[in-house]
Amino acid sequence: SAVISQKPSRDICQRGTSLTIQCQVDSQVTMMFWYRQQPGQSLTLIATANQGSEATYESGFVIDKFPISRPNLTFSTLTVSNMSPEDSSIYLCSGGAGVPTEAFFGQGTRLTVV
Amino acid sequence: DAKTTQPNSMESNEEEPVHLPCNHSTISGTDYIHWYRQLPSQGPEYVIHGLTSNVNNRMASLAIAEDRKSSTLILHRATLRDAAVYYCILRDDVNRDDKIIFGKGTRLHILP
């Protein structure tokens, strides 16, 4: 199994600023992903974090708004740039070793933009 | 990803079995059926998965229809801690894409 830690667990930010969320896995995982979960909604996949290369973004998400890094197999960051109140959400990191094994999720970062 | 259909919500009494249904009529031969759940204020956690045969683990059982077009997650004796949103997800073993696309899931309420 793997344990995924996210920092910060929550933050309140001013509009127009940026926040970087860190995701640390306690063991090597093949894949890492970032999700967004708006209040009362399901999880929406933002992107796949690729080690040593540019992330692969899902439709509706762009690199300029959500730059992602993954310098090694156990660490990734997601930056929410030029924030607006619409970016208020929970952001979750996930990692796994590939189908059909289980995926693991962090506890999420609760972001409020004021 | 193939689509799954689940009821929006279900209710069960504490200490009784719970059967959570999932329809996946467009499932392909290489799709694994996974179940995850999300407890309040937590990230999702893995529950169980299967391909063709029924599966049991310490948390739950997974019953898969013979034609694989539906499955049922069984919690044998629900506790208050089992109140969560349960997600039925298909994961393709061919592409090994590994990304999980979440549907709306079933919100399970447990009555004391």
Given A42, A45, A103, which is nearest B46 (Cβ)?
A103
Given B36, B42, B98, which is nearest A98 (Cβ)?
B98
pLDDT digits (tens, 9 = 90+) for A29-84: 888 999 999 999 999 999 999 998 899 999 999 999 999 999 999 999 999 999 99
State the smallest CA–CA distance between residue B36 and chain A in angstroms.
9
Instruction: Give the pair of three-digit tokens for residue A79.
Output: 């930056």
Q: pLDDT over 90 for what percent of chain A?
A: 86
The answer to whether the CB of A114 falls within 8 A of the CB of A12 is yes
- Is there a cis peptide before residue A100, judged by omega within 30 degrees of 0? yes
Judged by CB atoms closer than 8 Å, whether chains meet at A103 and B98 is answered as: yes
pLDDT (tens, 9 = 90+) of chain B, 112 residues, equals 558 999 999 999 999 999 999 999 999 988 999 999 999 999 999 999 999 999 999 999 999 999 999 999 999 999 999 999 999 999 887 766 678 899 999 999 999 9
State the smallest CA–CA distance between residue B95 and chain A in angstroms.
9
The answer to whether the CB of B50 falls within 8 A of the CB of B65 is no
pLDDT value, residue A27: 87
Distance CA B5, CA B8 (A): 9
List of residues 6+ apart from A102 with CB closer than 8 A: A1, A96, B34, B46, B49
Given A44, A99, A108, which is nearest B32 (Cβ)?
A99
Q: What residue type is assigned to position B43 of the chain? A: G
pLDDT value, residue B96: 60
Residue of A nearest to B46 (CA): A102
